[in-house]
């Protein structure tokens, strides 16, 4: 049984180094994925801000155009005319809320995917460690004489 201890020690050291290297690679890949997710989220938010500004500008123009039409037709800004303007504003608010909800869904999907990839990486590294430990055990058992005389 004298040969088992050195072989087991070397194998255990190799396993430890492999695990350390896999964890380093996993952390580096995770950091890259996290930065990519943050970048995608920032892009979505920036696009959302731009579209919101464009919607506000379009609403202001539509309201101004409609007011000018009412004024040109001699229609006072009361009753139906006021309802038309309120309807334009309400439609713009609905579009903004819908766009925000869609952006939130996209951001949520990105965050869920990133979290899933992190969990998968942890599972893969722990599975690798278990495989290595099993291999180490199997190698050690092959070297131990079961029948010593």
Return the pLDDT at 127: 65
- pLDDT for residue 147 is more than 60: no
Q: Domain-by-domain residue ranges, the chain?
A: 4-143
Burial 127-141 (b: 16+ CB within 10 A, else e): ebbeebeeebeeeee
Confidence grade of residue 32 (pLDDT, cut at 50, 70, 90): confident
**3-class DSSP state of 38:** helix
38-73 residue pLDDT tens: 999 999 999 999 999 999 999 999 999 999 998 999
Helix (H) or strand (E) holding 122: helix 80-143
Confidence grade of residue 149 (pLDDT, cut at 50, 70, 90): very low
Confidence grade of residue 12 (pLDDT, cut at 50, 70, 90): low
Q: CA 52, CA 50: separation in Å to the nearest integer?
A: 5
Tokens (6 digits) for 1? 């049984």
Instruction: Return all residues near 47 (Cβ < 8 A) that are at least 6 apart.
Output: 103
What pTM value is reported for the model? 0.61
């Amino acid at each position: 049984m004298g040969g088992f201890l050195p072989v087991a020690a070397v194998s255990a050291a190799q396993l430890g180094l492999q695990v350390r290297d896999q964890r380093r690679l996993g952390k580096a890949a995770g950091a890259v994925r996290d930065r990519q997710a943050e970048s995608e989220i920032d892009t979505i938010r920036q696009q959302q801000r731009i579209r919101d500004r464009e919607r506000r500008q379009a609403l202001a123009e539509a309201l101004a155009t409609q007011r000018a039409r009412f004024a040109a037709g001699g229609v006072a800004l009361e009753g139906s005319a006021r309802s038309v303007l309120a309807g334009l504003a309400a439609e713009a608010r609905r579009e903004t809320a819908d766009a925000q909800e869609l952006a939130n869904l996209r951001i949520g999907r990105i965050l869920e995917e990133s979290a899933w990839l992190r969990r998968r990486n942890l599972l893969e590294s722990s599975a690798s460690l278990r495989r290595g430990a099993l291999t180490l055990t199997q190698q050690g058992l092959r070297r131990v004489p079961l029948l010593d005389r």
